[in-house]
A and B are shown apart, each in its own frame.
Chain A
């Protein structure tokens, strides 16, 4: 009964795994962020007993129940795909990361159980007794479980980029980039989930037939935006620390991403980040303007801020090594763009984006209560469609930045021929595909 090599090019296997992994990660991270935001909203609802917080929490719980079901299917697809397309790599990685993988699945099971108990036991929110408190605990237990599951999978994800010797337990777990990746993902999940929930609310507002529903969804969108935009402003600092650690631990990866053949991916991330801040600033401008009691300084600050943010976003996205951008050689023979230097241009532009974004965010929070008063008191003849569309744009941009970031990290390994850095090569998977087998990078070193 022979083991049958797959009669397809290895690229197909790579594409299959990339699609399965990215779609899985997109939903998984959404669940982590949403469960944390959901627990927060449920707590506010528990304390205030206001109907609109309850409705918002119910919407999150429903979204969580749907996506949890979807992600369990995606998990099956990913595990099946790894078994079929990367059996050698998968078995080896699984052996190295046996307990983190098992614990991840176990805590995801916990997340599913508690999230479902939270959603399907919604009648308990109306109970006057302790059951209300129990119901709230389901939301926090779901959030806690999903965070621990994320922690477990981050151990594996960071290990693949900056591994430690496999026979050492603690260095394997707390490998050099583990904590930084974890923090990066925590805030990244809040950005993605915040903007995604804002986008869902915006769709709800656009589709709403009653003024009351429209006002509720617009209010929900504003709340989620505040979370997503706030977390977005923290990301450059954590990203900087994460990349710096990669630079010290695996310099080859760092140079591949920042100056080498995959540097265009970092420029793409910068472009999406800049766009998120710009579109977010426009949204803030629109929302704060709708508040008649906004601070007087806002009207003079915001146009200047918008101009500066657009300029900074352009500079931040400028590429340095033009020759690494696909198809650019058809346009220009220039190899380097001096304006795209990290030091000082991009550092400066990133600082402008974060600083002005932070000031705008503070204006937004201070004016939050007075926003959308007209929406709630009277149904407008022509409902505003610009603000919901901006939120949908932010949700789409957050998906794109997430996918590009995920792809950057994975391709930084694959470009240099590794599946686990300095340990397992792509060529180690050759027996699965027609071709010759080669030893591992580690084995080759030994030889």
Chain B
């Protein structure tokens, strides 16, 4: 086989390059996949709480419908991503699939069962509910369980590529230092994006259907989506801290590369988006308390004459600015993040009644709708930025310390039993490996 491959040479995608090509499809895939995972969890919970609010069942159905509609597109994007991986990074592909074959068997089985629970859950919604509401709920929660198994295993593979273990068994790769932290971080991340996406959709629909009979439904959706997104956002700094700590202890060079390396701009971008998410959420809370229109009147109406507003909200705003300014100084940044989280949680608690009591005249106004849509977009951007950071942290390796980009760039020399790319005699290349990192600049 190498004979054939030597004749053909490796594939180099023109203009964008191999890594960017895989990256584009990964990002497109996770935009749908993260929403689907979040919605698969949220939908049965909505349905379970149908007696709490008459709109809950409708919302559960709509979320599942979205998941089903985007399901195939998301899956095919993943297939394209893997195919690019096979064609552009054959060494890494073979290595990863070989190493994780048993978890992959389990993941495929979980995916298969996911289909068998999700499809009847949506396509036979009414017939099953007529027969047994409990059975329908069981199907919904089973789908959530199977999708959790699926993403947990995929996170295991993704985390291994950054912090690989040295165990020999095929299943040992999963138990790498950053696996569980990544699973937790992504789990809540799905709700940040999912919640804000629901709010954004509701905001967009409210703008299109003012005075429509569905208006109360979208108002409810906006409030609930916003609260889901904000609640998960308040948790994320802690799960992120756990994840970052694990990366630093398991792969200090990767951590340093992220924070101080050539891609540190991405970290600034990440914390800018996080700060905007907090500020945007706070602005939406303020806007929900007044019937004024426009940002400045809203701020004036809600803020002037209130004792402590200057200090509390000034501190919130400053903390948001400081987490960006000190993005590459972890301890300072963490302090301000904590302040930001505490203050945001305080204001949500204080104004919870205002938000739940807010009706059309307060929520269905351009300011709120625009903030909601912006939060949805920011939710997607933060997902993409974080995903990109995690991938760039591995550079110049594809599997950190095991396979380098440079090895992939040469004509593939396939592994045989008991070999590694390094043991096949690949000399250190310009790109370097973990022990010989690529020089900056």
* Chain A interface residues (CB < 8 Å from chain B): 1-6, 66, 68-70, 72-73, 75-77, 79-80, 83-84, 87-92, 94-96, 98, 101-102, 105-106, 108-109, 112-113, 116, 120, 166-167, 423-424, 428, 431, 434, 437, 439-440, 442-443, 446
Contact residues in B for A83 (Cβ distance below 8 Å):
82, 86, 93-94, 97
Say how far A192's CB is from chain B's closest CB, in angstroms: 21
Return the contact of A76 from the options B65, B90, B108 (Cβ within 8 A).
B108
Contact residues in B for A88 (Cβ distance below 8 Å):
1, 94, 414
Contact B80 A105 (CB under 8 A): yes
Q: Interface 1/0s, chain B 1-21, versus A by CB < 8 A?
A: 101110110010000000000
Q: How many residues of B contact A (CB 8 A)?
A: 52
Q: Interface 1/0s, chain B 67-108, versus A by CB < 8 A?
A: 011011101111110111011001001110111010010001
C-alpha gap A89/B226 in the complex (Å): 49
Contact B5 A95 (CB under 8 A): yes
C-alpha gap A109/B73 in the complex (Å): 6
Q: How many inter-chain residue pairs (CB < 8 Å) link A and B?
A: 156
Q: Interface 1/0s, chain B 302-334, versus A by CB < 8 A?
A: 000000000000000000000000000000000
Say how far A340's CB is from chain B's closest CB, in angstroms: 40
Contact B72 A68 (CB under 8 A): yes
Contact residues in B for A428 (Cβ distance below 8 Å):
1
Sample of 8 A–B contacts (CB below 8 Å): A72-B71, A72-B76, A76-B82, A83-B93, A92-B1, A94-B86, A431-B416, A440-B1
Return the contact of A75 from the options B75, B98, B168, B419 (Cβ within 8 A).
B75
Contact A108 B4 (CB under 8 A): no
Chain A, Cβ-Cβ closest to B10:
A95
Contact A69 B95 (CB under 8 A): no
Contact B77 A109 (CB under 8 A): yes
B residues 391-408 with Cβ under 8 Å of A?
402
Contact A87 B97 (CB under 8 A): yes
Contact residues in A for B418 (Cβ distance below 8 Å):
2-3
Contact A440 B4 (CB under 8 A): yes
- Given A80-B97, A91-B412, the answer on whether A106 and B1 have CB atoms closer than 8 Å is no
- Given A66-B123, A79-B82, A91-B93, the answer on whether A5 and B417 have CB atoms closer than 8 Å is yes
Q: Which of B111-119, B207-215, B260-268, B345-353 contacts A (4 or more CB under 8 A)?
A: B111-119
C-alpha gap A6/B412 in the complex (Å): 21
Contact A120 B3 (CB under 8 A): no
Contact B79 A76 (CB under 8 A): yes
Chain B, Cβ-Cβ closest to A112:
B72
Contact B79 A69 (CB under 8 A): no
Chain B, Cβ-Cβ closest to A3:
B415
Contact B95 A80 (CB under 8 A): no
Q: Interface 1/0s, chain B 413-428, versus A by CB < 8 A?
A: 0111111100000000
Kindly state whether residue B170 has any CB partner on chain A within 8 Å.
yes
Return the contact of A2 from the options B80, B164, B419 (Cβ within 8 A).
B419
C-alpha gap A167/B8 in the complex (Å): 6
Contact B11 A95 (CB under 8 A): yes
- Given A1-B420, A76-B108, A108-B76, the answer on whether A91 and B94 have CB atoms closer than 8 Å is yes
Kindly state whether residue B357 has any CB partner on chain A within 8 Å.
no
C-alpha gap A108/B75 in the complex (Å): 11
**Nearest 10 pairs between A and B by C-beta?**
A83-B97, A72-B75, A3-B415, A112-B72, A91-B90, A431-B416, A109-B76, A87-B94, A5-B417, A72-B72
Contact B76 A112 (CB under 8 A): yes
- Given A5-B417, A66-B119, A112-B72, the answer on whether A73 and B83 have CB atoms closer than 8 Å is no
